[in-house]
Structure 1
Amino acid sequence: MTTGSTDGRRHLGFSEQVISKIIDPVDLQSRLGSFPRVDPVVMCHGTFDLVHPGHLRHLAYAKSKGSILVVSITTDEHVTKANMRPYVPEELRALNLAALELVDFVVVDKDPNPISLICALQPDIFVKGYEYGTNIPPKTASEKQAVEAFGGRMLFSPGDFVLSSSAVIENDPPKIGLEKLLTLMQVEGINFADLYSAVQNLSGLSVTIIGDIIVDSITSTSVIGGYRKTPTPSVRVDGHQQFVGGAGIVAKHIAAAGARVNLISVIGDDELGRFALADLEAAGVTCNIQVVVDRPTTHKNAVVADGHRLVRIDTVENRTLDFEVLSAMQADLAMSSADAVVFSDFRHGIFNRVTVPDFMAAVPEGVFTVADSQVASRWGNILDFAGCDLITPNEQEVRFALGDQDSVIRPLGSALYDQAGCKILMLKVGARGMLTFRDSLANADRRSFFTVDALARDNIADPVGSGDALLAYATLTQVATKNEAISSIIGTIAAGLECEFEGNIPVTPDLVSKRLRELETASEFS
C-alpha cells in the first residue's frame, strides 16, 4: 500500500499481521537478501482480480517450491484487458492475497510488466501459469530471460484446474461495492463524517446553470387489445404526469440541496413553458428564462403500457436559437455571480460548436465550470466543452467524442481526459457505477483514476435522470470540499437515489445522509 493508514485498512476487517505483508519493493529487497539463497524465494505475478480456486492451486504449487512466496500484482492503471478492469482495486487485491496463509509478501508493481521487479528482487524461482508454458508468448519470454539472466529458474504450475476471473466477473459479478467504497475511503484518507459534512454544508453555495429546459411526461396506459394486420397495441390511458427535466431538473436538485441556483434558458410561449416556469419558481430556482414565440417548449412524452415503455413522443425544435436570444443569454451568464457554472447540454438549440466557445468565454473568471453534453437522441460532443473543470459524460458519449467503439473503457477515459483538458472527468457507466479521472497517466505522483461502484439499492423504478442528480451533487460537493473522491461518492449515491423515483424528483440532502447511514452501518464489523 502506498497511501492510507493501517487504521483505515483495519476497518475492512484485516489484521495488522495481514497488512504488514504488503510491502514496498525496496524494503522487500533488503529483507529477502541476495541471490542465490539457502531458503529459496519464489515469486508469482499477475492481476489476481478475483482470487479463485485456480489461483489458490497456482500459489500453493509456487509455495511448495521454496520457503518464501512473494506475489506481485499489476497496478490498476496498467490493467487494460477488458472493460471495468480491474474489478477489484489494487489495494483490495493486495489485501485479499495477503490474507492467504501461504503468501509471505505482496507487492503492488507500478510498472506495466514485472521485469524491473524481477531484476530487483532476483527470486530463485519465478512461477507462471501452465497456459504460458506452451507456445511461450513474447511477454513471458521476456520475463523468462530476465529470471535466467541472474541464474534463476522459471517454472510453470500444473494445469489440471482452470477458472477465468473474467468469466466470473462477466457472468455473475460479486457484489463488493461496499468493500470497494471502504477501500477508496481508506486510500483517500476520508471517513463517513467527511461525507456527512459535505452533504450538510451546501447552503452557502451559488450555482448558475445554462441549458435546455425539457418537460418530461409519462402517460400511463393499459393494453386492451391490438390490430391483427399490424403490430399495433391498443391501450387505455390511465394517467398522465409531467415533470421538469433537462437543465431544469439539475436546477431543482441543486435547489433541493439548499444551494442558490440561477437558471438561464428558454421556453416556448405555450402551456408547457408556463408549467415549467411555475414549477421551477416553486422549487426556489431563480429563473432568467426567455420566452421564444416561434418555437415550442421541448416536450418528451413516454407512453408506458402495463409497466413497459412502449414509445416516446418528442416535440422538439433543434435549430439554433436566434443571435439576439443567444447574446442575451450570454450577457446574463457574464453578469452572474456564482461558485460554479454548469452547462447542461441536450442540443436543443442553445449549444453547438459555434456557440459553446462564446458561452464559455462569458463565464466570470475563477468560476468552477462543469459540462454535461448528452447524445441520447442528438449529436452533442463533450469535447466541445474542452477546458471545463469537470465533465460528466457516459460511455456512449465518450466513444462518440473520440470516434472509438473498440477500446476498453479505462484507457478510453484516460484519452478523453487528456484531450478535454479538464481537471476532473467523471465517466458514468450505468449500473456498473463510475470511473473518476483526475490526472494524466503520465503523472505518477498520485493515483490518476479510481472507480466507485453504483451504490443504488435494489428498488430501482426508473434509471433515467440519475445522471442529472449525479451532476448536481457532484458539482456542489466538489466546490464545497475540493475532493474528487468525496464528490464522486456523493454524486453516485444521489444518482442511485434518483433511480428509486418514477419521473424527475429532486434528491434532498436528508435522503443522501440516510443512505450514508445505511452504508456506514453495513460497513461496521462486529
Structure 2
Amino acid sequence: MGKIFPIHDLSELLNTKRDKKIILCHGVFDLLHIGHIKYFEEAKSQGDILVVTVTPDRFVNKGPDRPHFTEQLRLEAIAALEIVDYVALNLWPTAVETLLLLKPDIYAKGPDYQDQTTDLTGKIRDEEEAIRSVGGELFITSGQVFSSSRLLNQSLSGYTDEQIEYFRSFALKHPADEVISWLKRLHTLRVLVIGETIIDRYSYCYPIGMVTKDPIIAVKYLHEEWFAGGIIAVANHGAGFYHSVDLISALGEKDSYEQFIHTHLKDEVNSHFIYKTDSPTIIKQRFVDAYLNQKLFEVHTINDEMVSMDQTNELIQKFSSLISDIDLVLVVDFGHGMISSPFIEKIVGSGVFTAVNTQTNAGNRGFNVISRYPKVDYVSLNATELNLEERTNAGDIKSKILNVVERVSANEVLITEGKYGTILYDREDGFIRTPAFAGKVVDRIGAGDAIISITAGLACLNAPADIIGFVANAVASMAVSTVGHRTSIEPVGLYKYITTLLK
C-alpha cells in the first residue's frame, strides 16, 4: 500500500494506530531540501508515526507563479522519503481543521516559528490552540532554517539577471520586514475613495468562423463572469489595509444592480451612493476567446454625460460630511461623467492628502487628463495616460513627468510602463526605476486600480520612494496574474509575496 491517502481516509487509518505516538508536520514544501529532511528527522524522533500534510495549490498564497511544483508532485516527493510514514493533501487554508481531524500527539513546526510574532498569517496561535484541544502538544524543531523560496529564487524562479540583482540589492537596503512594517502602518489611515462604479462582464465564447454574408466573426457563447470593478475594486483592495474606507460613487438611476454591488463590496467599506439621472450603472462587457483568454471586443452600457449640477452638489455634500475624519482622499477618475469641475475644486481644496489616477479608456480617450486636477499630492498614471496629458508620444519620459509635477503641484508621480516596470519621481529623491516583477500576464484589467489603492497610502505616510516603487510592482504582478477583479489584493498574500521576493 502507498503512503499517500485522502485526508479523511488517513484519519480513519490513524484511529487504528492510537497505541503509537503520532507526529504531524504541515507545510507547502514547494522545493524539498535538506532543511525539510532535518525537520522531518527531528519531528520523527519525538514519536513513532510521522504524518505530513501538504498545502494545496489554491491555498499557497505566496504570489504569482507559486507554488512552483504542483500539489501532486509535492506529495510524491515527500512520500519518497523513507522517514515519512503517511502523506495527505490538506483541504483547508491552515492546519487547524487538519489537527482537529487527525488528532496527532505532536504537531511539529520548524524553528522559524519559535517567535510566533513573525508568523505573517497569525494562524500559528490558532493551530497551537487546536493541537492542545485534542490533547496534543506543539513541538518546535531546532535545526538550521533553510528557505524553499530563496532556493527557488536563485535557481528556478524564471527571473532575469536584472530582476535577481534588483531583489538582492533592494533586500540589502530594505528587508522584507521593513517593507511589511510600512504596509501595516496603512492601518492608521482613514481613507475616502471617489470614482465611478463599473461592472466588468466577461462573456466567454468560442470563435466558430466567418459569417457567410458579412465580414464578421461568429462566436459560440459559453459562459460568463461578472466582477465589481471601477471604484468598487479600489475600495475592496484597500479594505484589508486601511483603518477605514469610505466610498463615494454613482450608480444608475435605472438598472442600478445595487444588490450585486453590495454583495460584492467588502463589509469593511462604508458606501455613499448617488443615483445618476437617466443612466444605468456602467457595464463594460468584454467578449473573450475562452481558449486563448484573449479579448475580442467589448460593449459599454453607459450614459457618459456629465452629472447635473444638482447631483454635483449632492456629491459635494456627501464629501463635505465625511472629509473632517479623513486622512487620505483617493480619486480614480474613469472619465464617465461623475466628477465635474466644481467637484474637483472641492476635492483639491480640502487640504487633505490627495492621490489621483485619471484613467484613459475607449469612452474618454484624449480628454480625461490629470491636469483637470490643479493640486494633487500623489499621481499614478500609465505611460499612455502620461502621453495624452503631454499630447505627444515623443520625447523623454522624465521631462514629461516633470511637466506633470509642476502642472499639478505633485510631490510624487508614479508612471507604470508595462513590461518595463515603473518610474517614480519624488521631489526629494528624484527618479527611481523599478523593473517589472510579473512573469505571466493573465489580464491587465485593474492593475492600475490595485497599484494606486495601496501605494497612495504609502505616499501619504511619506514612505521611502523606492519602497513605494517596489510595492507598486509587487501589487501589479499580483493583479495581472488573475482575470479581471476576480480577487482583491489582501494583506497576508502581499506580505508573503514580498517575503518570497526578498528571500
Q: Provide, for residues 129-156 of structure 1, a one-character-per-residue CA deviation record: whole Å limited to 9, x for no partner.
A: xxxxxxxxxxxxxxxxxxxxxxxxxxxx
Given that residues 386 and 422 in structure 1 are in contact (C-alpha distance below 8 angstroms), is that contact kept between their aligned partners in structure 2? no
Shift of 1:345: 0.3
For 1:314 and 1:196, the matched residues in 2 are separated by 39
Match of 2:316 among 305, 322, 330: 330
Per-residue Cα deviation, 1:398-419 (whole angstroms, up to 9, x for no partner): 1111223210222222222222
Q: Give 1:375's aligned residue.
A: 360
Provide the C-alpha distance between the structure 2 equivalents of 1:285 and 1:296, rounded to a whole number of angstroms: 22
The equivalent residue for 2:300 is: 314
Q: How much does 1:481 deviate?
A: 5.1
- The C-alpha deviation readout for 1:369-410, integer Å capped at 9, x for no partner, is 001001222120111123210011111111111223210222
The answer as to whether partners of 2:312 and 2:342 remain within 8 angstroms in 1 is no
Secondary structure at 1:333's aligned position in 2?
helix
Shift in Å, 1:328: 1.5
User: Partner letter of residue 201 of structure 1?
Assistant: R
Mapped partners of 1:283, 1:252: distance in 2: 9
Q: Does 1:462 align with 2:446?
A: no
Letter in 1 for 2:430: S
Give the aligned length: 337
Alignment pair present for 1:451 and 2:433: yes
> How far is 1:503 from its partner?
1.4
Gaps of 5+ in 1: 1-172, 440-445, 522-526
Q: Map 1:271-350; keep pairs closer than 5 Å.
A: 271-305=255-289, 306=291, 307-336=293-322, 337-350=325-338
- How much is the aligned-residue C-alpha RMSD, in angstroms? 2.1
Partner of 1:357: 345
Quick check: 1:477–1:490 contact (8 Å CA) kept in 2?
no
Match of 1:502 among 465, 483, 491: 483
Q: How does 1:467-482 map to 2 (within 5 A)?
A: 467-480=448-461, 482=463
The residue number in structure 1 matching 2:500 is 518
Per-residue deviation, residues 410-466 of structure 1 (Å, max 9, x unmatched): 222222222221001001111211111012xxxxxx54111111122x232111111
**Kept after mapping to 2: 8 A contact 1:212/1:345:** yes
Residue 43 of structure 1 aligns with which residue?
A: none
Matches within 5 A, 1:430-441: 430-439=418-427
Q: TM-score, normalised by structure 2?
A: 0.63
Conserved? CA contact 2:348–2:375, under 8 Å: no
TM-score, normalisation: structure 1 = 0.61
Provide the rounded CA distance (Å) in 1 between the counterparts of 2:482 and 2:226.
Answer: 14
SS in structure 2 of the partner of residue 351 of structure 1: coil
Q: Give the letter aligned to residue 435 of structure 2.
A: D
Mapping 1:358-437, distance limit 5 Å = 358-361=346-349, 363=350, 365=351, 367-377=352-362, 378=364, 379-437=367-425
Q: Is the 8 A contact 1:264 1:332 kept in 2?
A: yes
Cα 1:332–1:353 change in 2 (3 A) is: closer
* Distance in 2 (alpha carbons) for counterparts of 1:357 and 1:178: 45
Q: Which residue of 2 aligns with 1:154?
A: none
Judged with a 3 Å threshold, the aligned counterparts in structure 2 of structure 1 residues 324 and 369 are, in CA distance, closer, same or farther, namely same
**Alpha-carbon spacing, 1:354–1:175, altered in 2? closer, same or farther (3 Å):** farther
Could you say which residue in structure 1 is the equivalent of 2:212? 228
- Partner residue of 1:123? none
C-alpha distance in 2, partners of 1:181/1:412? 28
Which amino acid in 1 is paired with 2:218?
A: S
Q: Is the 8 A contact 1:215 1:272 kept in 2?
A: no
Q: Choose the corresponding residue for 1:179, options 156, 159, 165.
A: 165
| Distance in 2 separating the partners of 1:291 and 1:281 | 17
Aligned amino acid, residue 260 of structure 1: S
Hey, what does 1:61 align to over in structure 2? none
1:210 aligns with 2:191: no
Write the distance in 2 (CA, Å) between the matches of 1:227 and 1:281. Answer: 41
Greater Cα offset, 494-503 or 174-183: 174-183
Worse overlay, 340-349 or 274-283? 274-283
Query: For the pair shown, which has the larger CA radius of gyration, 1 or 2?
Result: 1
Q: Structure 2: which amino acid aligns with 1:316?
A: I
